Structure 1
Amino acid sequence: MLKDNTYITITRQYGSGGKEVANIVAKKLGINCYDRKIVHLAAERFHNSTEPISNEVMEDLITTSYSMPGSLGDYSFESIPFYNKMFKEQSIAILKLAQKGSAVFLGRCSDYILKDYPNTFSFFIYADDDFRQNRAKDHYGNNTLEQLDKEDKNRKRYYAYYTGQTWGEAQNYDLMINVSNISLEKAADLIIEYIKLQQK
C-alpha cells in the first residue's frame, strides 16, 4: 500500500512507451492517471468556472474520486521563470487534481509542479533508438526516428521554457528506466517497488 497522497510523475521519451507504463502503474495501484488530455480539459473547466468544482464535474474527468484535506491553492508561480496562460491553468489543474488523492501524472512538467510536495516520485522512461523506431511502426503511424527526435526536441524546449531545468537530466528524477530490454509491465513494477522501498 502507498502512503496517502502519493504522487507519481512520469516523463517519457517519445516512442518509449512511457504513456503505457503510466497507465499500467495506475491500474496496478488502483489510482488515477492524468495525461495531457485530462489535464487540458481540467484546466479549461477550472478556468471557465467561477464556482467550486463540483463532484459531477470531477466525475467527468476521472473515474474514481478521492479527497485530501487542506489546499494546494497557495502554490506560487513565481518560481517559474516564464509561463503563458494555458501553462498556468494546466499547472493549477494538476494541483487541483492532486487534491483528489494519490495519482499518476504524465508529462506536462508535473514533476516540476509537484516536486515540493511530500511523497512525490518522478520517473523518466526512455529507450534505445532501435526500440523506438520499431515501436513507431505499430504505435506512431510509422513515424521515422527523425520525427520522434523532433518531438523530443519540442518537449525539451517546452520543459526548459517553463521550468528552467533540463528535460531528461538525471538529477531531476528519482529513477530513469531504459525499457529497451524489459517489458513495459516490468518497468511499471520497478516504479512501484522503488516507491514502496522509499516509503518503508
Structure 2
Amino acid sequence: MKTNTMVTITRQYGSGGREIADLVAKKMGVRRYDRKVVAMAAEKLGDETNFHDLIERSYNAPDNCLGNLGDYAYERVPQHNRMYIEQAKVILGIAREGSAVFLGRCADYILRDTPNTFSFFIYADNAFRQQRAKAQYVGYTLKDLDAEEKHRAQYYAYYTGRTWGDPQNYDLMINTSNLPLEAAANLILSYIEMRQNADR
C-alpha cells in the first residue's frame, strides 16, 4: 500500500463501522482518528469544556441546515461553530503527515481533493442494527440510533452541501448485515490495493 493513503469511513449507526475503522487502521499499522480530532481542535481553540459536552457541541449547525461551505470556504462557518474550521485544519494536517484512517467528521468531504484518498460508507439493514443496538449501545433502540443519525446527517449536509449516504460521495458502500466485520475491513484494503495497482 502506498504511503500517504487516506481512508475515510462514514457509517450508519449500528452497522459496525467504528469496529471496521479500527480493524482497517490496525491492519494498515496507522492511527484511527475520530473523537481525537475534536480534542485536537479544542486544544487549538483553547476550549476546556467537558469532553462529552465538547463532542455534542462539535455537531452544532444552524437548525435550518441550509447552504454549505463549498471549496473549503471555512471563513463562512457560522461564528457559533468555529469547531468545524479547526477540525478541518486538523484533518488536513494529519493527512500531510502520513497514512491515516478517519471515522466520520466530514473527512470524506474535507479530503476530497487530497490524492490517494479512499472513502467508504458502511451500512446495514434494520434487523442487524437493532440487534447491535441492544448488544453494543446500552439502553439504545433502533429509533434512538436513527435519531442520532438524522442529527449527524443534517450536520453533514450543512457543512458539505452533500447528502449523507449518497453513493456518489464514496468509492464503495458495504452492507455488513451478512458480512463479518473483519471481512469488511479486508474488502476495504483489497479495494484500495486494487485501485493503487491499477494506477501504476
Q: Which category describes the TM-score, using the shorter chain as reference length? A: 0.7 to 0.9
The answer to whether the aligner puts 1:139 opposite 2:165 as a matched pair is no
Aligned length: 172
| Counterpart pick for 2:108 among 111, 126, 131 | 111
- TM-fit CA distance, 1:81: 6.8
CA deviation vs aligned residue, 1:2-53 (integer Å, no higher than 9, x gap)? 1111100000001111000000000011011101x200111123334xxxxx
Using the TM superposition, give the Cα deviation of residue 99 of structure 1 relative to its aligned residue in structure 2, in angstroms. Answer: 2.3
Deviation at 1:138, TM superposition (A): 1.1
Residue of structure 2 in register with 1:173 after alignment:
170
Between the aligned partners of 2:75 and 2:126, the Cα distance in structure 1 is: 32
SS in 1 for 2:88: helix
Contact 1:91 1:113 in 2 (8 A): yes
Residue 38 of structure 2 is aligned to residue 43 of structure 1: no
Deviation at residue 144 of structure 1 after TM alignment: 1.2
What's the offset of the Cα at 1:187?
0.3
Q: What TM-score do the two structures reach when normalised by structure 2?
A: 0.82
Q: Does 1:88 align with 2:62?
A: no
Counterparts of 1:101 and 1:18, CA distance in 2: 22
**Structure 1 contact 128–180 (Cα < 8 Å) conserved:** yes
Identity of aligned residues (%): 58
User: 1:157 aligned to 2:178?
Assistant: no
| Partner secondary structure for residue 173 of structure 2 | strand
Matched residue SS, 1:136: helix
CA RMSD of aligned residues (A): 1.7
Would you identify which runs of 4 or more consecutive aligned residues in structure 1 move more than 3 Å?
Answer: 79-83
Classify the secondary structure of the residue corresponding to 2:101: strand
Distance of aligned partners of 1:103 and 1:3 in 2 relative to their CA distance in 1, 3 Å threshold: same
Correspondence 1:78 to 2:73:
yes
Residue of structure 2 equivalent to 1:7? 6
Query: Corresponding residue for 2:26?
Result: 27
Aligned 8 A contact 1:123 1:175 in 2 = yes
Distance between the aligned counterparts of 2:82 and 2:44, measured in 1? 13
Report how far residue 77 of structure 1 moved: 2.5
Find the residue that maps to 1:99 and give its secondary structure: helix
Structure 1 residue 80 displacement after superposition: 8.7
Which residue identity does 2:29 align to in structure 1?
A: G
Q: Which amino acid aligns with 1:181?
A: N
- Tell me the distance in 1 between the aligned counterparts of 2:33 and 2:108: 13
Tell me how far apart the structure 1 counterparts of residues 180 and 76 of structure 2 sit (CA, whole Å).
Answer: 38
Matched AA of 1:136: A
Change (3 A) 1:164 1:79: farther
Structure 1: any 5+ residue segments left out of the alignment?
49-75
144-153 vs 172-181, which deviates more? Answer: 144-153
In the superposition, the TM-score normalised over structure 1's length comes to 0.82
